[in-house]
């Protein structure tokens, strides 16, 4: 019976992924294991489920009919399991999470690792990517997203907090070039900015009327990694526009100083998102509860050293 179910799962994953290789990746198996499992299934059923060529594979008529029945049966099993699981106190099983690279490493991952330490039956697998993944297609239980939510059909979201973006620089840079106090003064400075594939993103600031103002600051240094931008700024390379949580330790240590006032801080909403499900699995519920409880504290503590460290530096000729 276990082998039968394994074959069905491999078949459904291969049908939905469009290839044995991708199905194997999603299931954490080898391509040959998927191929053998489906071959045994075809032998048992006495029919061919896939039409294979050197370039592609597609379902046969029998394969399509069998796939539709398998999907319905697996959905019933999943619903039954989720209904039982929702009544458990302790989360168990493998939790697959997608998170943005830097926010995931610095803020989300330590909390989810802590959750795994608290529950011995829980496995946590985190994929760091700035790409917006398809949770259902890519097989993730949930994701953390830092940006306005686009079309969320089939998904549920919960707000975790706001990521404040601040302009900062090293004391040595401010001593040489002076400290900007208005957005208009940014044009007279050099900046280290985020850029990828020849495209540089402007800095965003609230316009005081519920909208935003885009500002492009002169720059000779562009990186597609915010940690590198923070390092360069701390060494006096120029102004940088970065998340508070990323620069907090450098501000506390005196390597960076926050410039501009509170009203110039732009905020990005942060959300936990997961596929809609009548019965939320305990592992997902536990992860969401952990993030909701502790992400706001991480975000708010990142802004606390700002006032104490933000001393003006005179412009030197």
Separation between Cα atoms, residue 273 and residue 202, nearest integer Å: 27
Task: Give the β-pairing of 203-206 and 212-215.
Answer: antiparallel
What does pTM read for this prediction? Answer: 0.66
Going residue by residue through the chain (317 aa), what tens digit of pLDDT does each one get?
455 676 888 888 888 888 888 888 877 888 888 888 899 989 888 999 998 776 678 899 998 999 888 888 887 777 676 666 555 568 889 999 999 999 999 999 999 999 999 999 999 999 999 888 888 888 899 999 987 676 566 788 999 998 999 999 999 999 999 999 999 999 889 999 998 887 888 899 988 787 889 998 889 999 989 999 999 999 999 999 999 999 989 999 999 999 987 788 888 889 999 988 767 888 999 999 999 999 988 887 655 544 434 444 444 43
Determine the distance from the C-alpha atom of residue 163 to the mean position of all C-alpha atoms in its chain, rounded to a whole number.
14
> Can you give the length of the chain in residues?
317
Which fold does the domain 163-267+303-309 belong to in CATH?
D-Maltodextrin-Binding Protein; domain 2 (3.40.190)
Q: Residue ranges per domain, the chain?
A: 2-85, 93-161+269-294, 163-267+303-309
Separation between Cα atoms, residue 188 and residue 196, nearest integer Å: 24
Separation between Cα atoms, residue 309 and residue 182, nearest integer Å: 18
Q: Quick check: do 2-85 and 93-161+269-294 share a fold? A: no
Residue 211 and residue 217 in contact, taking contact as beta carbons nearer than 8 Å: no
Which fold does the domain 2-85 belong to in CATH?
Arc Repressor Mutant, subunit A (1.10.10)
CATH 3.40.190.10 assigned to 93-161+269-294: yes
Question: Is the C-alpha dihedral spanning 296, 297, 298, 299 positive or negative?
Answer: positive
Residue 49 and residue 14 in contact, taking contact as beta carbons nearer than 8 Å: no
């Amino acid at each position: 019976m276990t082998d039968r179910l394994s074959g069905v799962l491999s078949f459904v994953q291969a049908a939905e992924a469009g290839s044995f290789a991708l199905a194997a990746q999603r299931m954490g198996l080898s391509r040959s294991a998927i191929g053998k499992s489906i071959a045994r299934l075809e032998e048992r059923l006495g029919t061919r489920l896939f039409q294979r060529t050197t370039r592609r594979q597609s379902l046969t008529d029998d394969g399509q009919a069998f796939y539709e029945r398998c999907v319905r049966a697996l959905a019933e099993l999943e619903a039954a399991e989720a209904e039982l699981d929702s009544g458990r106190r302790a989360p168990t099983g493998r939790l697959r999470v997608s998170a943005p690279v830097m926010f995931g490493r610095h803020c989300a991952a330590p909390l989810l690792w802590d959750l795994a330490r608290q529950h011995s039956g829980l496995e946590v697998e985190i994929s760091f990517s700035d790409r917006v993944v398809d949770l259902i297609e890519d097989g993730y239980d949930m994701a953390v997203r830092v940006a306005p939510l686009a079309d969320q059909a089939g998904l549920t979201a919960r707000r975790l907090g706001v990521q404040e973006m601040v302009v900062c620089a090293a004391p040595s840079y401010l001593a040489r070039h002076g400290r900007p106090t208005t957005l208009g003064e940014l044009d007279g400075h050099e900046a280290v900015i985020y850029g990828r594939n020849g495209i540089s993103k402007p800095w965003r600031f609230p316009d005081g009327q519920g909208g935003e103002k885009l500002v492009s600051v002169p720059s000779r240094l562009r990186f597609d990694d915010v940690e590198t931008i923070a390092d360069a700024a701390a060494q006096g390379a120029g102004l940088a526009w970065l998340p508070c949580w990323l620069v907090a330790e450098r501000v506390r240590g005196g390597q960076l100083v926050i410039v501009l006032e509170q009203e110039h801080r732009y905020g990005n909403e942060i959300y936990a998102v997961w596929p809609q499900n009548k019965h939320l699995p305990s592992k997902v519920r536990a992860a969401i509860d952990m993030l909701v409880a502790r992400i706001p504290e991480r975000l708010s503590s990142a802004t606390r050293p700002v006032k104490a460290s933000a001393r003006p530096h005179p412009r030197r000729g």
